Amino acid sequence: MDLSACDAATLRTLLGNGDVSAVEVTQASLDRIGATEPHVKAFLRVLDEQALAHAADIDRRHAAGEPVGPLAGVPLALKDILCTAGVETTCGSRILEHYRPPYDAAVVERLRAADAVVVGKTNMDEFAMGSSCENSAFFPTRNPWDLDRVPGGSSGGSVAAVAAFDAPLGIGTDTGGSIRQPAALCGLVGVKPTYGLVSRYGLIAFASSLDQVGPIARTVTDAALLLAAIGGHDPRDSTSIPQPVPDLTAALDAGVDGLRVGVVREFTGDGMEPGVRARVDAAIARLGALGADVVEVSLPHAGYGVSAYYLIAPSECSSNLSRYDGVRYGLRVDGATTEEMMARTRAAGFGSEVKRRVMIGTYALSAGYYDAYYAQAQRVRTLIIRDFEAAYEHCDVLVSPTSPTTAFRLGERAADPLAMYLSDIYTIPSNLAGAPALSLPVGTDDAGLPVGLQVMAPVLGEAVLFRVARALEADLRFDATPTGRNSLAEVLA
């Protein structure tokens, strides 16, 4: 049996029945990483010794009849934006190179409690700023479906690792689409939970009112299992919702008969590739055939989402990244004065995209411009929230493409920030609203590249989100194995 090809739910059953050991599963994952990593470059560091030690402890407890966690022995790829005690955590930036946190993030604590086996820390756009995983300070990650194309970003490393079958589960973060957009480009399920459902304690901050940790998987069921493991109240996070994660599996296979599905009018316009439009339209038609009541709805202010986001997020980024001054931790470049040391440190430690957003945010927050830019963007955010609330009075979920295009070529948009930013045009509004959204693979375009359908739900509507996605997944039966010309499968053959 090829253990690296098994999903998390299957591995749970095999491990629970004693058909395989956690060490065998972990070793299969590490062997797979060894074969794929020279081509994909998904990981910043592979934690082989730590992973095998954890797996051996799981096997010991299982043999002794001691309790093990709900994800016992399942390999997982962790985005390098979450603090791991004693393990280098760089956030894809030179300014945090060699930084070893003294504590674990809340999500990491819960993964350990669930006995998921973290096999490595994955590559990402620096400080989660990017849509292609080309902004990493270390190297770009490649898409397993076509190794000359991007995997999306900023969670490109975790998504590429799951798409390459290095691990069945991944953890990413989503500030404006950074889980859903790469999931769409790599043929995976990616979920941005309700803001506050998953603790941000120990998450290296980009934009604090938008950042959210979420699951990446090859199946809807696996994504639901992972979200259940990492979610729930955490008093260390002041924005954490003070209630447990809703039951995400009780109605998972209830189907969509009688549900009201709204197609967002503003997300069907110009800029969408024909292959994306065809696959998304076909998927929406299948929802109707499965019994859903499909109607058109409007989010009239959604078109201003990108503009509002690129004022709010850089403003919060400017504030959050001011802590990297060469004094307390991370990189330090000496200078004749404190001011010179700080300037040299930030100049050497931050990449061009981070510098661009820090400057935009600092300008937007400066005296005389705050009301015209940042405050106005927050007013637009309020209008978008109200648009969603009005739409959900008539619909249980909303649907749209996840990304207007399939995976683009490495370097294709590197010199065009606006084109890069528009990759998230359909995902950003849900972040501004704080509501959950999911990307589901619904087929491939004529070039054989995956297309994602975005499913959105009201705040704390994860259960219906997974229900709709599971019904469509069962109907479409998408094969998550990357194939075709220049794919990982072709290179490894």
Which residues participate in catalysis according to the annotation?
Answer: 79, 154, 178
Q: How far apart are CA 363 and CA 12, in angstroms?
A: 51
Instruction: With CA atoms as reference, report the closest residue to 387 among 309, 300, 312.
Output: 300
Terminal CA-to-CA distance of the chain, rounded, Å?
18
Q: How far apart are CA 374 and CA 377, in angstroms?
A: 5
Per the DSSP assignment, residues forming a β-bridge with 456 are 398, 437
Cβ–Cβ < 8 Å for 223, 189? yes
Helices (H), 121-155: none
Write the DSSP assignment of 244-285 as a string of letters: PPP-SSTTTTS--TT-EEEEEGGGSSTT--HHHHHHHHHHHH
* HSE (side-chain half, CA atoms, 13 Å) at 14: 19
Positive/negative CA dihedral, 244, 245, 249, 252: positive
- Residue 443 Rama label (left phi>0; alpha psi -120 to 50; beta): left
Distance of CA 460 to the CA centre of its chain: 18
Instruction: With CA atoms as reference, report the closest residue to 458 among 259, 306, 178, 257.
Output: 259
Neighbours of 244 (CB within 10 A): 11
Place of tokens 């393990």: 87
Q: How far apart are CA 255 and CA 322, in angstroms?
A: 48
Q: How far apart are CA 117 and CA 212, in angstroms?
A: 22
CA angle centred on 423, ends 419 and 428, rounded to 5°: 125
| Phi, psi of 401, deg, nearest 5 | -60, 155
Place of tokens 């400057």: 359
Per the DSSP assignment, residues forming a β-bridge with 373 are none
Q: How far apart are CA 184 and CA 169, in angstroms?
A: 16
Place of tokens 């004022």: 311
Map residue 302 onto helix, strand or coil: helix
